[in-house]
Amino acid sequence: MTTPVITALLDGSTIQEIAEQAWSALVGEEEVLVPLPGELPAATLSSWVGIAGPWTGSVVLTCGTDTAEQLTRALLREHAPEELDAEDVSDALGELANVVGGNVKAVLPGPAALGLPEVGTPPAAGQPADTLRVDALWRGQPLSITVQGALGPPHTPASDIEEENEVPL
């Protein structure tokens, strides 16, 4: 059996729908993600969660550092501290990745395990065919959500490749 690639399991509109729900519930009732591409600024922040199961990879949220700060304020609303520190921002961005990632996992074949959120430089993506990226604007600022397969084994074990080669064309 060949390990499935993400594009065979999920489409962009499902990711968009999941992200929109996360935004309207957590960021604010009328906070919307407009599915239009924008150019990310030079300084960005990424958060992600890993998924390990029949499909293995991660769900990565990337936005400008300013956007990340505004997202944190919007998420915390009246519960926000006067001064946000770096940990507030990475924690909030990580939680958004966790919420989107958990719901992406639920759409993928199971059983699968969800990792804890991480923030920093995201893991390298595997093959392009195993990557699905959605771009959106939030309050006019660009952000992206990428569902990307893990690089190399165990995602594409040798036995699968052999099996694949056996399939008559």
Query: Segment contacting other proteins (CB under 8 A): 28-36, 61-69, 124-132, 143-151?
Result: 28-36
Reference 50, options 98, 16, 87; nearest CA is 98
Least distance from other proteins to the Cβ atom of residue 110, Å? 6
Quick check: helix, strand or coil at residue 169?
coil
Decide the pairing of beta strands 33-34 and 57-64.
Answer: unpaired
Separation CA 123–CA 156 (nearest Å): 17
Q: Does 95 bind other proteins (CB under 8 A)?
A: yes
Reference 43, options 68, 69, 64; nearest CA is 64
Query: Segment contacting other proteins (CB under 8 A): 100-108, 122-130, 147-155, 160-168?
Result: 100-108
E strand or H helix at 72, and its extent?
A: helix 65-76
Residue 71 token pair: 């997202």
Task: Name the residue nearer to other proteins (CB basis): 78 or 162.
Answer: 78
Least distance from other proteins to the Cβ atom of residue 26, Å? 5
Least distance from other proteins to the Cβ atom of residue 34, Å? 5
Query: Segment contacting other proteins (CB under 8 A): 33-41, 60-68, 143-151, 160-168?
Result: 33-41
Q: Does 76 bind other proteins (CB under 8 A)?
A: yes
Least distance from other proteins to the Cβ atom of residue 165, Å? 33
Among left, alpha and beta (phi > 0; psi -120 to 50; other), residue 52 is beta
- The mark string for 118-147 relative to other proteins (x by CB under 8 A, - otherwise) is -------------------x-xx-------
- Structural contact between residues 113 and 58, judged by C-beta atoms closer than 8 angstroms: no
Separation CA 53–CA 126 (nearest Å): 16
Residue 56 token pair: 């293995």
Which residues of this chain interact with other proteins, rule CB under 8 A? 14, 17-18, 20-22, 24-26, 29-30, 32-35, 72, 75-80, 87-88, 91-92, 94-95, 98-103, 105-107, 110-111, 114-117, 137, 139-140
